[in-house]
A and B are shown apart, each in its own frame.
Chain A
Amino acid sequence: MTLRGVERPGAATIARHGTVVMPPVVPTGRDLRLDLFRGLALWLIFLDHIPSNLVSWITIRNYGFSDATEIFVFISGYTAAFVYGREMNERGTVVASARILKRAWQIYVAHIFLFVIYMAEIAYVSSSFDNPLYSEEMGIFNFLKQPDVTLVQALLLKFKPANMDVLPLYIVLLAGFPPMLWLVLRRPVLALAASVTLYALTWRFDWNFPAYPSGTWVFNPLAWQLLFVFGAWCALGGAARIAPVARSGPVLALAAGYLAFAFVIAMTWYIPHLAAFVPKWFAEWMYPIDKTNLDVLRFAHFLALAALTLKFVQRDWPALASPLMRPAILCGQHSLEVFCLGVFLSFAAHFAMVEISDGIATQVLVSALGILIMVATAALITWYKNVEGKKHGPRQTPPNADLAGGEA
């Protein structure tokens, strides 16, 4: 039985019993849509993380249930399976697992690096800020007064400052990925069933990881794994399997209807007078739309978005090659670096708004500047990797493997 590679002709075809039928040398072109949408998701996450930013009105979270996080996690699962799945078939389960764990370790180090920057920022802010109106809010600086506890809790991934919850989620997802990948490669349906079961049990029994100083993780890995595994399943043949259904008329109509419904509901969040039109029983059934545990409404919203996107943005969409798309694609190809940079830049942008001006002009400027820096950095990394690649000879590492989601 052959797993139907990736949903495209000419992609690597992975045979079940460990032998791999590969197109010669470099895998033929990667699916640029993955990079494009991951790049866009990174930009949106950056914009959403700048508090009181007018520009964040353009981001998708304001027009429906799901947001950029879903896109990011799904594509990360997809690329992780694509890259490490091939690795697992070529070099065995142990080697591939080791590489996955190495990647998780890299992300852990990146997270701790960001945490240090965060601590530097709040230390600076706390030294200059003593407005008597905010004696309560200044309690947040108390973490500085007990570094023994705060630092240890941060290293344990229990203390996570605001907006620094995505990388810990990612670390846990990758750390738990090897056995799941092994299963997806062999019994994809069983793997998906296991993932759904874990998700259901998590909802049923309120499982989550503990956080410090109280509460639980903002992104519950036990629930969000559903999206990650679903991405992996799609990458290893699932997408091809469901494509006929996902592209059928009724499904697309359903997806469009659901997106419209979510849009209307989202409008009631911003125009309180509209909220009166939502029947009370319905509101009680629907709310809260739980982000922590990846609410079914959010998951469905992501699926609807994905179905419509795949319909209108085909793999061979000419615009994918246009220079206009290049910036987002570049960012998507170096997602870890650009993600971390984005977290830092959103701190910096907020800092600029606090210290210089909070006018609309500043908000637009720091938002645009931030994205520009993300793009420039991604371009620099691409250039550097190309240079390095040439030095080591053409086939030391497949040039595309890294792009194809070593940046998983």
Chain B
Amino acid sequence: MRVLAAALIAAMLVGPALGADEGGCFVASSFVHADFALPQVAAAIGAKHLNVAVVGSASSTLPGAEGAAKAYPARLEESLKRRLPAVTVKVTAHTRARETAAEMAKSLQQVLVEDKPDLVIWQTGTVDAMMGVDPDVFQAALDEGLETLHAAKSDAMFMNMQYSPRTDSMIALGSYVEAMRFVALQREVPLFDRLAVMKNWNEMGVFDFYSTTKRIEFAERVHDCIGRLLARLVVDSADLAAQANNSGAGSSDVPNKDIH
């Protein structure tokens, strides 16, 4: 029943116009749930100054002259600004193609020094899966990276792979997806499950990822949606921290209150 309703809503929202497709993005909302708090982000929002760094590989970018402005890090910045009108928001992208998690973990220190971010969104996994990096090594790199971030008092968030049905049978993502979910759970770091979100969009007919389109507009719309959902997860996770603070201070405690 819920699936049907969601599909209907999706059809209604996607159908008419490009501009109206924000609702389409949110069809996958149930896969973007704030499980863990982002206290640094909450504090930064309180101080009216939020600084986010995105560390990732090629799937955090789009080709072309407009690429940087249309890729999800820039869309995230836009969306955060809309959601937090009183806050100065800055999102910086640090992306390098073909970098494994271990290589990224090494470069995190520099990002911390350069940007002094309140939050680092770490997109990784695809390159490791394509290279067949030992999943244990991958997991150790994630741990190492998180330690670096937390030592510098920065919040962290993971983003996993894209759903890419055409290369599905060629890139075995399984153990890397599991490793990321496991580390996220163990270290209580929010995970933006891009894979599940995109899969859901595909199932609901919001986007057809089987498409052989060469049009950049398609990729831009996907990145815009990712940016919007990501912004929501950041804000929700920060709210979670704010709530915890309030209840800790003795005000009326509302556990599990739906914050959407």
Interface string of A119-152 (1 = CB under 8 A from B): 0011001001111111111111000000000000
Of the listed stretches A95-103, A212-220, A390-398, chain B binds A212-220
Cβ-neighbour of A133 out of B64, B139, B219 (below 8 A): B219
**Cβ-defined contact, A139 with B212, below 8 A:** no
**Cβ-defined contact, A214 with B133, below 8 A:** yes
Within 8 A of A (CB), among B214-233: 214-216, 218-219, 222
Q: Is B252 interfacial (CB 8 A cutoff)?
A: no
Tell me the minimal C-beta distance from A95 to chain B in angstroms. 39
Given A161-B170, A215-B132, A283-B212 contact (CB < 8 Å): no
**Cβ-defined contact, A136 with B57, below 8 A:** yes
- Complex CA gap A141/B94 in Å reads 25
Tell me the minimal C-beta distance from B207 to chain A in angstroms. 9
Which of A137, A287, A353 neighbours the largest number of chain B CB atoms within 10 Å of its CB?
Answer: A137
Which of A130, A136, A140, A287 neighbours the largest number of chain B CB atoms within 10 Å of its CB?
Answer: A136
Q: Is A163 interfacial (CB 8 A cutoff)?
A: yes
Of the listed stretches B12-20, B113-121, B175-183, chain A binds B175-183
**Cβ-defined contact, A140 with B167, below 8 A:** yes
Within 8 A of A (CB), among B109-129: 126-127
Cβ-neighbour of B168 out of A51, A211, A216, A292 (below 8 A): A51
**Cβ-defined contact, B214 with A130, below 8 A:** yes
Q: How large is the interface on B (under 10, 10 to 19, 20 to 34, 35 or more residues)?
A: 35 or more
Q: Is B83 interfacial (CB 8 A cutoff)?
A: no
Cβ-neighbour of A347 out of B137, B169, B182 (below 8 A): B169
Within 8 A of B (CB), among A151-180: 161-163
**Cβ-defined contact, A131 with B172, below 8 A:** no
**Cβ-defined contact, A215 with B63, below 8 A:** no
**Cβ-defined contact, A140 with B218, below 8 A:** no
Q: Which residues does chain B contribute within 8 Å of A287, judged by CB atoms?
A: 182, 186
**Cβ-defined contact, A163 with B182, below 8 A:** no
Q: Is B97 interfacial (CB 8 A cutoff)?
A: yes
**Cβ-defined contact, B134 with A358, below 8 A:** no
Q: Which residues does chain B contribute within 8 Å of A139, judged by CB atoms?
A: 58, 98, 127, 130
Cβ-neighbour of A51 out of B169, B202, B216 (below 8 A): B169
Q: Is A288 interfacial (CB 8 A cutoff)?
A: yes
**Cβ-defined contact, B62 with A132, below 8 A:** yes
**Cβ-defined contact, A125 with B166, below 8 A:** yes
Q: Which residues does chain A contribute within 8 Å of B58, judged by CB atoms?
A: 135-136, 139
Tell me the minimal C-beta distance from A283 to chain B in angstroms. 7
- Complex CA gap A287/B185 in Å reads 11
**Cβ-defined contact, A132 with B57, below 8 A:** no
Q: Is B165 interfacial (CB 8 A cutoff)?
A: yes
Interface string of B127-148 (1 = CB under 8 A from A): 1001111111101000000000
Which of B97, B133, B172, B216 neighbours the largest number of chain A CB atoms within 10 Å of its CB?
Answer: B172
Number of A-B residue pairs, CB cutoff 8 Å, is: 122
**Cβ-defined contact, A131 with B97, below 8 A:** no
**Cβ-defined contact, B186 with A137, below 8 A:** no
Q: Which residues does chain A contribute within 8 Å of B130, judged by CB atoms?
A: 137, 139-140
Closest to B208 in A: A358
Tell me the minimal C-beta distance from B205 to chain A in angstroms. 11
Q: Which residues does chain B contribute within 8 Å of A291, judged by CB atoms?
A: 175
Q: Is A66 interfacial (CB 8 A cutoff)?
A: no
- Complex CA gap A353/B171 in Å reads 16
Q: Is A309 interfacial (CB 8 A cutoff)?
A: no
**Cβ-defined contact, A136 with B133, below 8 A:** no
Q: Which residues does chain A contribute within 8 Å of B169, judged by CB atoms?
A: 49-51, 121, 162-163, 346-347, 350
Q: Is A17 interfacial (CB 8 A cutoff)?
A: no
Q: Is B213 interfacial (CB 8 A cutoff)?
A: yes
- Complex CA gap A129/B213 in Å reads 8
- How many residues of A are counted as interface, with CB atoms below 8 angstroms from the partner's CB atoms? 45
**Cβ-defined contact, B166 with A140, below 8 A:** no
Q: Is A52 interfacial (CB 8 A cutoff)?
A: yes
Q: Which residues does chain A contribute within 8 Å of B178, judged by CB atoms?
A: 288
Q: Is A284 interfacial (CB 8 A cutoff)?
A: yes
Tell me the minimal C-beta distance from B228 to chain A in angstroms. 16
Within 8 A of B (CB), among A227-241: none
Q: Is B59 interfacial (CB 8 A cutoff)?
A: yes
Q: Is A275 interfacial (CB 8 A cutoff)?
A: yes
Q: Is B164 interfacial (CB 8 A cutoff)?
A: yes
Closest to B168 in A: A51
Q: Is B211 interfacial (CB 8 A cutoff)?
A: yes
Cβ-neighbour of A131 out of B64, B134, B170, B219 (below 8 A): B219
Interface string of A266-292 (1 = CB under 8 A from B): 000000100100001001100110011
Cβ-neighbour of B164 out of A132, A134, A161 (below 8 A): A134
- Complex CA gap A191/B46 in Å reads 67
**Cβ-defined contact, B212 with A292, below 8 A:** no
Given A284-B186, A291-B175, A132-B63 contact (CB < 8 Å): yes
**Cβ-defined contact, A354 with B166, below 8 A:** yes
**Cβ-defined contact, B132 with A134, below 8 A:** no
Tell me the minimal C-beta distance from B91 to chain A in angstroms. 20
Q: Is B29 interfacial (CB 8 A cutoff)?
A: no
Q: List 20 A-B contacts (CB under 8 A).
A: A51-B168, A52-B165, A52-B199, A131-B219, A133-B219, A136-B58, A137-B59, A137-B166, A140-B167, A162-B170, A214-B133, A215-B131, A215-B134, A284-B186, A287-B182, A288-B139, A350-B169, A353-B165, A354-B210, A358-B210
Given contacts A131-B211, A137-B166, A347-B169, could you give 6 more A-B pairs where the C-beta distance is less than 8 Å?
A: A136-B127, A139-B127, A280-B186, A283-B186, A288-B179, A353-B210
Instruction: List residues of B whose CB falls within 8 A of some A CB.
Output: 35, 57-59, 62-64, 97-98, 126-127, 130-137, 139, 162, 164-172, 175, 178-179, 182, 185-186, 199, 202, 209-216, 218-219, 222
Q: Nearest 10 pairs between A and B by C-beta?
A: A51-B168, A136-B58, A133-B219, A162-B172, A136-B59, A215-B134, A215-B132, A350-B169, A137-B164, A137-B167
